[in-house]
Amino acid sequence: MQPNPLREGLEQERVPEPSCLVIFGASGDLTQRKLIPGLYSLAHDGLLPPGQTIVGMSRSEMTDDQFRAAMREACDEHARTRPVDEEIWENFARGLFYVSGEFTDSRSYNKLRVRLEEFDRTRRTGGRRIYYLAVPPEFFSQIAEFLGGEDMVTDPERGGPYTRVIIEKPFGHDLPSAHELNRVAVSTFRERQVFRIDHYLGKETVQNLLVLRFANGIFEPFWNRQYIDHVQFTVAESIGVEKRGNYFDSAGITRDILQNHMLQLVSLIAMEPPVAFEADSVRDEKVKVLRALRPIEEAVRGQYAEGSVLGEHAVAYRKEEKVKPRSNTETYAALKIFIDNWRWADVPFYVRAGKRLPKRVTDISIHFRPAPYPLFSRLGMKMHANVLAIRIQPDEGISLKFDSKLPGPTVRTAPVTMEFRYATSFGAEPPEAYERLLLETMLGDATLFARRDEIETAWAWLDPLLKRWSEDSDPPPFYSAGTWGPDAADELLEKDGRKWRRP
């Protein structure tokens, strides 16, 4: 059998020191669908150290064994490395524990601290702590305050073992709330201890953007306004709001997707080469992109109406559970943006995100300028733009479209595609995003996490648009579920002589 190059890469990974990873909100959907299955898959791949300890905490009453049984079911259903290996699971489950308690009760933290100190002795975790806040943002300040008050936060620069905290999005609702969230974070923790997690940055193809650009000599010389006509970003979901109606109706697609996922992708595509592949060097360049964003001049919003998606009936957004009957929240947004710097001056970046679209796909496409002399078009042949397409999900991979001669005695051209896919090229599915991000947190590498100034700069840029929409009493244009959004989104490109790429 040929060796699996993806597996070989995993075997070269560093293994962190054992720590106590505490998951606040351990009975929630994120823990069961992503966190524990991701941690088990890391253990399966030999990337968790002996003694790694995982402590779930929530209000539900459970014993350690009941928690382990529930997490086994979660891994059976959601782990990347299925079926679950019994021997690996038994070893992994010995490091699973549970503490019940209210997040607003100091006695819960005292009980948690006692157990963590016990694990330091019995499992040799050395006082190293990672707190994962898989809870709504309103609990963050209370949890941070109690952790500080119970002396459960230490810092190597002050002579203690490390403490790190992982915060899930949303990172605020607007700029003032983001300021407040960050203020609370640094009142208990230092900025370098805070890991703001955006699962898009853990996706293999997103990480590969940096390798594609900066490890290959053929792309970077053409990665600028001289050769690139425009860039498109699509984050499409076929599902509606599902059980998140209450949250989504107060957020909308712009806050839910554009402010975080989309702007992270834009900054990775547009950033300058960092001086080193280190956390602050990479994030410095991403922030420069965000600071260079021109104020938004052209934007389209929409809301899905009744329709059909993938052959199934879909109700209108206003009929979804926990959504206001006359809600004006946008479920679709498309923006035309510019980055005012030397590399990207006057190159439009078209971004769109929406729910109840025809398929689930996240796609970036770089559209190059045509050849300077239309040699073959003068012979009556239609020429097509070269397009470098990067598929983030599903079927992660990269493709390049270019024109080629059709076989035959006459010169005729047609577009062809060269394609790379992770699953087929490396013979294995890439790790899940949360696996990578959890491992990076244990290793203390913040490269794939958002920094405070990234969050606040993004909100400062987006807030004027959100304010403008909130003051508009008219509802967003409706689009039928199962279509690619409102007509105005197509017109956004058509008036520039372009059209959306259908991923």
Helix (H) or strand (E) holding 113: helix 106-122
Q: What is the 3-state secondary structure (H, E, C) of 376-392?
A: CHHHCCCCCCCEEEEEE
**Proportion of the chain above pLDDT 70, given as a percent:** 94
pLDDT reported for residue 383:
67
Given the residues 44, 78, 261, 367, select the one marked as catalytic. 261
Q: How many CA atoms lie within 13 A of 220 on its CB side?
A: 14
Q: Are 130 and 118 in contact (CB under 8 A)?
A: no
Q: What is the CA radius of gyration of the chain?
A: 24
Q: Are 434 and 448 in contact (CB under 8 A)?
A: no
Neighbours of 176 (CB within 10 A): 11
Token pair for 211: 């390798």
Residues of the chain whose pLDDT is less than 50? 1-11
pLDDT reported for residue 419:
87
Classify the C-alpha dihedral 63-64-69-72 as positive or negative: positive
Q: What is the 3-state secondary structure (H, E, C) of 413-450?
A: EEEEEEEEEHHHHHCCCCCCHHHHHHHHHHHCCCCCCE
pLDDT reported for residue 6:
45
pLDDT reported for residue 328:
95
Question: Strand runs (DSSP E) across 169-285, as ranges?
Answer: 194-197, 228-236
Told to judge if 230 belongs to the known catalytic residues of this protein, a careful annotator would answer no
pLDDT reported for residue 428:
67
pLDDT reported for residue 379:
62
Instruction: Quick: pLDDT tens for 94-120.
Output: 999 999 999 999 999 999 999 999 999
The whole-model pTM stands at 0.90
Neighbours of 130 (CB within 10 A): 22
Token pair for 39: 């941690």
295 prior amide bond cis, ω within 30: no
pLDDT reported for residue 411:
72
Instruction: Quick: pLDDT tens for 436-455.
Output: 999 999 999 999 999 999 99
What 3-state DSSP class applies to 127? coil
Instruction: Quick: pLDDT tens for 453-484.
Output: 999 999 999 999 999 999 998 989 999 999 99
